[in-house]
């Protein structure tokens, strides 16, 4: 197995080559404003080592915070038409009703609510008003809207109205890009609809970004398929990831934590990932990030994704440092670190400058930071450590000291002794943990179907078997499979004890 893992962060683009489970080479390049130049630079420098010559690469796995950043920073979002099938229910709470106003103003291209949807037992709530859907599509077309989010009452049980509406819309707008809420899963109309609308808002960015990733790989001369890493630590093929960009929202953080587990060999520990701009703190349980409970807000929008439970603070290698009064972060020079930092001839004092002054890092021009005395530098380090300790304490679920794995390009800010920590572990290649996590991303298998005439336990077990087989067929090692999602819903309206079961399993890539 030979994979290249790439993590495109806000500050750095990291790349690693992993062969038979070992990190062979790690590279770091500043993230470029257009994102892809950084990837290309990283891939080219890997290629320049000659390590790739004549070798088959099984995949390039890219983790990116691009999509979630677009939502959080309100950039590059597409206007979306929201089509809800469920009238006359829920009329007082239309699509976008609980979005932050600024984001709704950017994304909402119009709301259409028509009759349709199902009851909990599968009967239609109202027949789908097909004529109204077609009229809505014509109005969307007149407004120039092409990205459409469709939601329907109880569509996770019966997606037929959403599917039919998608056909009707496509008949009017042939190049429509449609997200059906049933593809994003769960019961809870508003949250599922919100996820569909966010996904639709990322349609253009997703298409362009993934095309650019593919171009970068091609241009670098590497012949390998592109995979995009997902929130749950697995990978999706580029074509699927393009369709459902919301599933890669939190993949950067998941990758860091999975990489930290891999590099340290620890399955249970706290992980602190100090990047250029932000520091993420999360807890590893059995080698996976602990999950956030229930509703997760993305850019202020309530959704129901499975996301790692993380605390982010504004601390990193590019954090602005103010000496009097002492303040570290939350502002950062970001990807301009190697231009704007004082050690690099710029004017903004950063935490990296402090580390250069003390000799902790050998970067830039040390003579430019000789004015920083040891006592001052120590104060900055102490303040950074205090911010980190506070974040670690907030993420603890149990009292007592825990092991801490420090990774990321800014891990030099994490001292060897900290309050509430039994041991601080720095690992080789820890500055590229996120790219390592991308490279070792797992393979998943899913089963979502209706079982009849089985007990609930039998049905779940049957679904698990199918999901396991699918994961193995996709390249997972059977011994490593574990269930990460298991949900079942009885379908009272169908004869013979019918139950719909959704099971998702993941496993490590089998050695070849």
Site string for other proteins, 183-202 (x = CB under 8 A): ----xxxx------------
Cβ proximity to other proteins: between 221 and 465 the closer is 465
Q: Choose, by CB under 8 A, the member of 20, 56, 92, 286 that binds other proteins.
A: 92
Interaction with other proteins in 123-142: which residues (CB under 8 A)? Answer: 123, 125-126
DSSP 8-class letter at 7: E
- For residue 37, what are the CA distances in angstroms to 64, 83, 302, 333? 14, 38, 34, 19
In the bound complex, what is the minimum distance in angstroms from residue 486's beta carbon to other proteins? 6
Element (H, E) at 32: none
Interaction with other proteins in 307-326: which residues (CB under 8 A)? Answer: 309
In the bound complex, what is the minimum distance in angstroms from residue 184's beta carbon to other proteins? 14
| Ranges of H-type helices in 31-126 | 36-48, 66-72, 101-107
The whole-angstrom separation of Cα 364 and Cα 334 is 16
Cβ proximity to other proteins: between 153 and 509 the closer is 153
In the bound complex, what is the minimum distance in angstroms from residue 412's beta carbon to other proteins? 27
In the bound complex, what is the minimum distance in angstroms from residue 294's beta carbon to other proteins? 6
Site string for other proteins, 409-438 (x = CB under 8 A): ------------------------------
Q: Choose, by CB under 8 A, the member of 120, 139, 300, 336 that binds other proteins.
A: 120
* Site size for other proteins (CB under 8 A): 38
330 contributes a contact to other proteins by CB under 8 A: no
Distance of CA 184 to the CA centre of its chain: 15
Interaction with other proteins in 261-300: which residues (CB under 8 A)? Answer: 290-291, 293-294
- For residue 298, what are the CA distances in angstroms to 103, 215, 237, 304, 423? 11, 29, 24, 10, 33
In the bound complex, what is the minimum distance in angstroms from residue 191's beta carbon to other proteins? 8
- Tokens encoding 33: 């404003």
The whole-angstrom separation of Cα 406 and Cα 272 is 5
In the bound complex, what is the minimum distance in angstroms from residue 504's beta carbon to other proteins? 11
- Which residues fall within 8 angstroms of residue 337, CB to CB, at 6 or more apart? 11, 30, 276, 317, 318, 344, 350, 352
Cβ proximity to other proteins: between 394 and 452 the closer is 394
89 contributes a contact to other proteins by CB under 8 A: yes
DSSP-derived 3-state class of residue 372: coil
Site string for other proteins, 462-501 (x = CB under 8 A): -----------------------xxxxxx-x---------
The whole-angstrom separation of Cα 483 and Cα 255 is 19
448 contributes a contact to other proteins by CB under 8 A: no
Interaction with other proteins in 380-409: which residues (CB under 8 A)? Answer: 394, 397-398
In the bound complex, what is the minimum distance in angstroms from residue 363's beta carbon to other proteins? 35
DSSP 285-320: ETTEEPBPPS-EEETTEEE----B-EEEES-STTEE
Helix axes 160-172, 130-142, angle to 10 degrees: 40
Site string for other proteins, 154-183 (x = CB under 8 A): x-----------------------------
Which of 439, 434, 433, 512 is closest to 477 using CA atoms? 512
Diameter over CA atoms, the chain: 80
- Tokens encoding 358: 């003390």
> Using alpha carbons only, how large is the chain's radius of gyration in Å?
24
Cβ proximity to other proteins: between 14 and 191 the closer is 191
In the bound complex, what is the minimum distance in angstroms from residue 490's beta carbon to other proteins? 5
Q: Choose, by CB under 8 A, the member of 121, 215, 268, 453 that binds other proteins.
A: 121
| Interface ranges with other proteins (CB under 8 A) | 86, 88-93, 97-98, 117, 119-121, 123, 125-126, 153-154, 187-190, 290-291, 293-294, 309, 394, 397-398, 456, 485-490, 492
């Amino acid at each position: 197995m030979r994979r290249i893992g790439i993590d495109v962060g806000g500050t750095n683009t990291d790349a690693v080559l992993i062969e038979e489970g070992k990190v062979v080479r790690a590279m770091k390049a500043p993230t470029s404003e257009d994102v892809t130049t950084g990837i290309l630079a990283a891939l080219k420098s890997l290629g320049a080592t000659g390590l790739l010559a004549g070798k088959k690469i099984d995949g390039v796995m890219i983790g990116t915070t691009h999509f979630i950043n677009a939502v959080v920073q309100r950039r590059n979002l597409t206007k979306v038409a929201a089509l809800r099938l469920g009238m006359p229910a829920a009329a007082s709470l239309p699509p976008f009703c609980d979005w932050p106003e600024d984001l709704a103003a950017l994304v909402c291209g119009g709301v259409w609510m028509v009759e349709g949807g199902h009851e909990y037992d599968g009967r239609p709530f109202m027949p789908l008003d097909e004529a109204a859907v077609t009229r809505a599509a014509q109005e969307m077309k007149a407004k120039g809207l092409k990205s459409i989010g469709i939601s329907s009452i109880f569509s996770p049980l019966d997606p037929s109205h959403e599917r039919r509406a998608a056909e009707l819309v496509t008949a009017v707008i042939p190049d429509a890009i449609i997200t059906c809420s049933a593809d994003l899963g769960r019961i809870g109309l508003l949250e599922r609809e919100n996820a569909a609308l966010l996904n639709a808002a990322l349609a253009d960015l997703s298409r362009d970004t993934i095309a650019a990733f593919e171009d970068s790989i091609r241009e670098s001369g590497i012949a390998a398929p592109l995979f995009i890493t997902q929130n749950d630590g697995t990978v999706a093929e580029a074509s699927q990831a393009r369709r459902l960009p919301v599933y890669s929202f939190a993949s950067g953080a998941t990758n860091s934590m999975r990489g930290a587990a891999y590099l340290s060999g620890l399955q249970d520990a706290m992980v602190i990932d100090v990047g250029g701009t932000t520091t993420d703190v999360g807890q590893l349980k059995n080698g996976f990030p602990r999950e956030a409970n229930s509703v997760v807000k993305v850019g202020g929008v309530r959704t129901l994704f499975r996301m790692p439970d993380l605390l982010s603070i504004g601390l990193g290698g590019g954090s602005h440092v103010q000496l009097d009064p002492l303040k570290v972060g939350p502002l950062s020079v970001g990807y301009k670190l190697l231009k704007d930092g004082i050690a690099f001839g710029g004017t903004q004092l950063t935490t990296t400058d402090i580390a250069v002054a003390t000799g902790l890092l050998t970067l830039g021009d040390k003579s430019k930071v000789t004015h920083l005395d040891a006592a001052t530098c120590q104060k900055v380090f102490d303040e950074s450590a205090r911010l980190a300790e506070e974040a670690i304490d907030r993420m603890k679920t149990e009292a007592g000291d825990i092991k801490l794995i420090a990774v990321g390009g800014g891990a030099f800010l994490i001292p060897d002794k900290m309050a509430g920590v039994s041991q601080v572990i720095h690992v080789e290649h820890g500055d590229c943990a996120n790219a390592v996590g991308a490279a070792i991303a797992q393979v998943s298998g899913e089963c979502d179907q209706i079982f009849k005439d089985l007990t609930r336990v039998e049905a779940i077990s049957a679904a698990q078997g199918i999901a396991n087989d699918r994961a193995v067929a996709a390249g997972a090692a059977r011994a490593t499979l574990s269930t990460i999602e298991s949900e079942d819903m009885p379908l009272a309206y169908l004869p013979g004890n019918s139950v719909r079961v959704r099971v998702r399993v993941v496993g490590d890539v089998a050695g070849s």
